[in-house]
Amino acid sequence: MRIVFFILLITSHIILSQNKSANEDITPLDIPINLSGTYGELRSNHFHSGIDIKTKGVEGLNVYSYDNGYVSRIKISHGGYGKALYILHPNGTSSVYAHLKKFSPKIEKIVKSKQYKKKSYEIEFFPKENEIKILKNEIIAFSGNTGGTTGPHLHFELRDANQIPVNPLLNSNISIKDSIPPFVSELFYTKDSYDVQNKHKIEKISSTRYLADTIRDTGKIGFGIAAFDKHDLANNKNGVSKISAYLNGNNILSISFDSISFNETKHINTFIDYAFFKNNKKRIQKLYVEDYNPLKFYKTKLNNGYISINHGESYSYEIHLADANGNTSRLTVPIIGDSSTNNFDNNTNEKFNEFNLIETNKDYEIDFIDAKVSVPKGAFYKDVFLDVSFKNDTLSIDRDTIPLLKPITISFNIDRYNDSIKDRLFVGKLSENNKIVNYSYTIDVLNSKESTTKSLGNYMIGLDTINPSISPIGFKKNDWISNFNNLKIQVKDNESGIKKYNGWINDNWILFELNTKKGVLVYDFDDNIIKEAKNDLYIEVLDNVGNRSEYRTTFYRKPN
C-alpha cells in the first residue's frame, strides 16, 4: 500500500511540475510579458496578426498552453512561423505559438515520427480531435528563433471561431505594463487629386498633447500620421491600438486594430502610403479611406475621413491615439481656409501618356522580343500607369513604389543561350545598385525561364554554375565525438540559394534541421539513429538550379 501511495505521489509531482499553478496568471511564458511587436502593427505587406513576446534574447523558455484543448495543427517550415503549434479550445477559439525551438516531449515524439516517415524537415499535419489533448498552463513547447525572425521571441496569436486573429491584449487576460501614451512623430496631409504627401510641423506640448502649426489651404484634404507606442519595460517602438479623428468635435474616422482577417491583411498597402514608405522607409497611416480600400477595421468613416476646407472658414481637426491599456495622446491641427495658399506643386498626368495603363478588371500581356510580362485581373490595388521596358537584357517593370495585390508573371526567352548552360539559368531581381541578382523562384516553360513576383523592379537572367559548399563544424574525419549533443554542418550557396538537402548515417536517413540564418544543418543525436561506434556520414545538397554537392566522412561515437 505504501508503494502504491509513493508512486501516486511521484506521478502527481511530475504532472504538476509540467504545468503552472492553476492560481497563476494565464500567460504563455514564465517571465513578465514584454513585447517586441503588437497586434495590428504595420509589417511588410501585412498587419501583424499576434503579439511578439520577448524571451530575453535566449531560446528554450517554457511555453504554456493558454487554455484547455487539443492540438489541431502543427506546421514546420524554414520561413514564416518556423515551428508552429495550433491549439483548438472548447469554445471554438484557437491559440497559436510560433518560432518555437522544439515541442514538449509528447508532441516532439509525434512530430519526429512524421518527419522521419516523410523524410522531410518541413511538414504540416492536422491531428484528429483530442488525439493530442492539452491542459491549460501545460508546457507545450520551448521558445526559439525558427522561421522568419530577426531574434528569439514567441509569436502568440488568439483566433476566434472563424479563425480570424484578434488582439490578445483586448480579448484575453494577457496584459502588459504600459503607462506610456502613444507618440506622434510626424503629420502629413494631401489634397484630392494629388499623389504627394505634405509634411506639416508639429510640437509636443505635454506628455499627451501635440499641436500642429496652422494649416492654410482650401479644398478636399486627407491627413496621415507616423505614430508609435512604447511600453514600460522596453524602449522599442510598437503599434497603436486605436486611431480616431475629429473635425470641430465630431468624430469623422475611427480605427480599431482588434480584428483583422487574413483576407484583409494583404490590403495594408491601401492603408499606408506605399510609395512614401519605399522611398523614405517610413509608414504613413492614412486617415482617409480611398475607394479601393476594403478594410473593415473602420468603425466610423464619415466622408471617408476627408474634410473640405472653404475659404474664410476656420476648423479644428484632432487625432486621438490609444494603446491597448487605454493610454491616449491627442494632436490638434488648427485649419484656416485660405485660397491664396498653394502647398502643392501642380500635378499632371502628361508623363503617363507613354506608359501602359493597367486597369484592375482586365488581363494584360506586355511582350518584347525576348521577355514578357503577364498581369492578371486584380493584380494591382487600383488602375495604374506602368512603365515597362526591356533593354540590355534587363526587364524593367516600373519601380517598387507601386504595390501588387496579386503576383504577376515574368518570362525570358533563352534561345540565345548555349544549351550547355540553359539548365543553370534563373530569373533574378536586381538589387537597388543594379549589380546583384537575387534568385526569384523559376520554372521552365517551353524555351523560357518563368517566375512570378509580387514586387516591381528590374529583372534579368542569372547564371549559377557553382556547387553548394559543405563543411563540418567542430570535427574532422575519424574523430570521436561522443561528447557532442548534435552534429553541425555548414552549407552555403551564394548564387541561387539552397533548395534541398538530405543526410544519411550508415545508410539511414537522418533529420537535419537547417538554420537558414546561419546556413547550418543540425542533427540531434537524441534521434537514436546511431547503433554502432563507427559511423559513415553522407550528405547531399542541391541549389535552386540543380547544382549538386556531396560530402562523405566517418566519425566515431559511443552508441546511444
DSSP secondary structure, 387-411, as one string: -EEEETTEEEES-TTS-BSS-EEEE
Q: What pLDDT, on a 0 to 100 scale, did the predictor assign at position 348?
A: 47
Q: Give all domains of the chain, ordered by start, each with its CATH number.
A: 2-30+51-166 (2.70.70.10), 183-337 (no CATH), 350-463 (2.60.220.30), 469-556 (2.60.40.1220)
Residue type, 158: L
What lies within 8 Å, CB to CB, of 184 at 6+ separation is: 202, 204, 210, 225, 226, 227, 319, 321, 329, 331
Beta carbons of 514 and 409 less than 8 angstroms apart = no
Q: What pLDDT, on a 0 to 100 scale, did the predictor assign at position 5?
A: 35
pLDDT tens sequence across 366-417: 999 999 999 999 999 999 999 999 999 999 999 999 999 999 999 999 999 9
φ and ψ of 352, to 5 deg: -90, -5
Q: How far is the C-alpha of 93 from the C-alpha of 282, rounded, in Å?
A: 35
All three cell numbers of 471: 563543411
Q: What pLDDT, on a 0 to 100 scale, did the predictor assign at position 46?
A: 96
Q: What pLDDT, on a 0 to 100 scale, did the predictor assign at position 7?
A: 36
Q: How far is the C-alpha of 87 from the C-alpha of 66, rounded, in Å?
A: 9
Q: How far is the C-alpha of 463 from the C-alpha of 465, rounded, in Å?
A: 7
Beta carbons of 300 and 229 less than 8 angstroms apart = no
What lies within 8 Å, CB to CB, of 49 at 6+ separation is: 39, 157, 165, 260, 262, 265
Q: What pLDDT, on a 0 to 100 scale, did the predictor assign at position 344?
A: 67
What pTM does this model have?
0.91
All three cell numbers of 363: 488581363
DSSP secondary structure, 484-511, as one string: -SEEEEEEE-SSS-EEEEEEEETTEEE-
Give the mean pLDDT per block of 10 residues along the chain (560 residues).
37 43 69 94 96 96 97 97 98 97 97 97 96 97 95 97 95 92 97 83 97 95 97 93 97 97 96 95 96 95 96 97 97 95 61 75 95 97 95 94 96 95 96 82 95 96 97 97 96 95 97 94 93 96 97 92
Q: What pLDDT, on a 0 to 100 scale, did the predictor assign at position 224?
A: 97
Q: What pLDDT, on a 0 to 100 scale, did the predictor assign at position 13?
A: 39
Q: What pLDDT, on a 0 to 100 scale, did the predictor assign at position 346?
A: 54
Beta carbons of 140 and 104 less than 8 angstroms apart = yes
pLDDT tens sequence across 256-312: 999 999 999 999 999 999 999 999 999 999 999 999 999 999 999 999 999 999 999
